[in-house]
Structure 1
Amino acid sequence: MAALVIPEAVVERFAATKGFSSSAYVLCSAAGTVVIDPGFRDDALFNYLETLGDMDAILLTHGHWVHLAGIDALVADYPDTSAYLPAPDRDLPTDRHLNQSTPPNGFSTVVQSDIQFLEDGPHSVPGYEVVMTGTTGTTAGSSICSVRKLGLLFTGDTFMADVATTTYRPTGSGEDLKMNAKKFLTIPFDNKTRILPDHGPETTHESLLRTNHSLQETGE
């Protein structure tokens, strides 16, 4: 997508294609710069961060290798940054089986950097107030991250424009995903909230309820 410019902030999206197709986001405002769900070192993303001059935090919605693989490189360039991950995924950064960086993927991801673990609920991430909501299914700690003040919702691997995620991966659970789809439908998001998934196009909460088959089936 082109840069998403909203009052008080800009969100840039970067495609991580090395070994796996996914997206990373950079949320930037006068309050600070946060990278959400980074992947392998990506020149476009790193060059963009250089133009900003600093980075305050790395925030992961879940602990799959494709996102964990970006942490150490970012921390090496920005040693004062803080990294955050949902608490139920605390074992994934250092367990190659759980984070799926064993064959056949062909990558080995064992994170060396310090990570702070977030429980469900509101948190202060440098520059921003965020709300983490567990949407277990793709992993035990898979979460969506709301920045309500800015009308943004980062849905990670949980909810894309058309479907919910697959659940066959380690610590994934189809039953949990169904329960959390029901939970998602009870959260009073504004219809215009921007939905920013790790896969597929950006959408809005209003559109997501119309186009996401998993949410439609749950709401029937």
Structure 2
Amino acid sequence: MIPEDSRDVARSTALTRFRLAPNPGPMSLHGTNSYVIAAPGAAGTVVVDPGPTDEQHLRDLAGAGRVELILITHRHADHTAAAERFAELTGAPVRAADPSHCHGGSPLRDGEVIHAAGVEIRVLATPGHTSDSVCFHLPGDGARGSVLTGDTILGLGTTVLDYPDGTLGDYLWSLDRLEELGPATVLPAHGPMLPALDKIVRAYRDHRQDRLAQIRSALAELGAGAEVTDVADAVYAAVDPAVRPAAELSVAAQLHYLRSAPN
């Protein structure tokens, strides 16, 4: 799901298109996928995560149809930096779970159903990556529906927990919630789209449990009070230095989870 020409707004599913933002990096992978939602023949569009402040990127998104609403999956700058500018460019309100990222629109509410651009969009709170993370479920997008997962589920690799704002307990709860949506198409904010959300969720949960087992083993060697950096050295010894800070965040989240769990 990478456009041959990064300037393209490419078809992803029956009700969605996307444009890859020009912000590749160790954490953003190929870049941020900015999505355009609209039913066939609809007069307007909904744009999800306008991404970085790149004028060409924003103008191409605006050129995909009259923007009537802008939605944000979570607070990180690779999703939100251009939101205010895009609102100015299109006249559309921006809605996010975090009020500080709303521009002319009200905060998103868990369980809310939005009808825009001829599409039903269901808002699901999915904290864990960040406390304000949400996913957008499009139940009418094909036979199994689709879910715009932000950074809660990625197209490649696994999600970083931005501890202490994001916690593992919240994240595991969110995985359970997403699994209930069944084999919906996964439309992540980074990386290619994936089939069968429920299958991906189970793989993510298994990965987290494997990491917890590694953390427990490291604590058995290092002592129950071991520091984050020492545990990261033991568990993430081969990690690329560019993503070492993310590895330490994940270790911190997992240590918090283990140390706060009832005996």
**Fold match, TM over 0.5?**
yes
**Structure 2: how far apart are the matches of 1:167 and 1:205?**
23
Map of 1:41 onto structure 2: 53
Q: Does 1:122 align with 2:151?
A: no
Deviation at 1:27, TM superposition (A): 2.0
Partner of 2:128: 137
Q: 1:85 to 1:56 in 2, by over 3 A?
A: same
Helix, strand or coil for the counterpart of 1:203?
Answer: coil
- Structure 1 distance, partners of 2:135, 2:99, is 16
Which one-letter code corresponds to 1:124 in the other structure?
Answer: I
Which structure's residues are more often helix, by fraction?
Answer: 2
CA apart distance, 1:42: 3.0
* 2:178 maps to which of 161, 177, 184: 184
TM-score (normalised: structure 1): 0.74
Conservation of the 8 A alpha-carbon contact between 1:159 and 1:197: yes
Please tell me the root mean square deviation across aligned C-alpha atoms, in Å.
2.9
Q: Deviations over 1:163-201 (max 9, x none)?
A: 54211345211221122222222x133x2x321111121
Contact 1:85 1:118 (C-alpha < 8 Å) held by counterparts: yes
Alignment of 1:104-115 (within 5 A): 113-115=103-105
2: CA distance between counterparts of 1:25 and 1:176? Answer: 25
**Match among 4, 13, 28 for residue 11 of structure 2:** 4
Partner of 2:168: 174
1:16 and 1:213, CA in 2 relative to 1: closer, same or farther beyond 3 A? farther
Sequence identity (%):
24
Superposition pairs of residues 1-220 of structure 1, within 5 angstroms: 1-2=2-3, 3-4=10-11, 6-7=13-14, 9-17=15-23, 21-29=31-39, 30-31=41-42, 32-79=44-91, 81-86=92-97, 89-91=98-100, 93=101, 113-127=103-117, 128-150=119-141, 151-169=145-163, 171-185=165-179, 187-189=180-182, 191=183, 193-205=184-196, 209=199, 213-217=203-207
Q: CA deviation at 1:6?
A: 4.3
More strand by share: 1
The 3-state SS of whatever aligns with 2:112 is strand
Q: Distance in 2 between matches of 1:78 and 1:203?
A: 30
TM-score, reference length from structure 2: 0.63
- Partner amino acid, structure 2, of 1:153: V
Name the CA distance, whole Å, in 2 between partners of 1:211 and 1:161.
12
**Distance (whole Å) between structure 1 residues aligned to residue 62 and residue 124 of structure 2:** 31
Task: Determine helix, strand or coil for the equivalent of 1:56.
Answer: strand
Closer/same/farther in 2, CA of residues 52 and 201 from structure 1, 3 Å limit: closer
SS of 1:213's equivalent in the other structure is helix
SS of corresponding position for 1:177 = helix
Separation in 1, partners of 2:196, 2:54: 29
1:94-144 CA-partner distances (Å, limit 9, x unpaired): xxxxxxxxxxxxxxxxx7x33321111132242232111111111112111
Return closer, same or farther for 1:203/1:58 CA change in 2, 3 Å cut-off.
same
Cα displacement (A) at 1:28: 3.3
Task: Write the distance in 1 (CA, Å) between the matches of 2:82 and 2:169.
Answer: 30
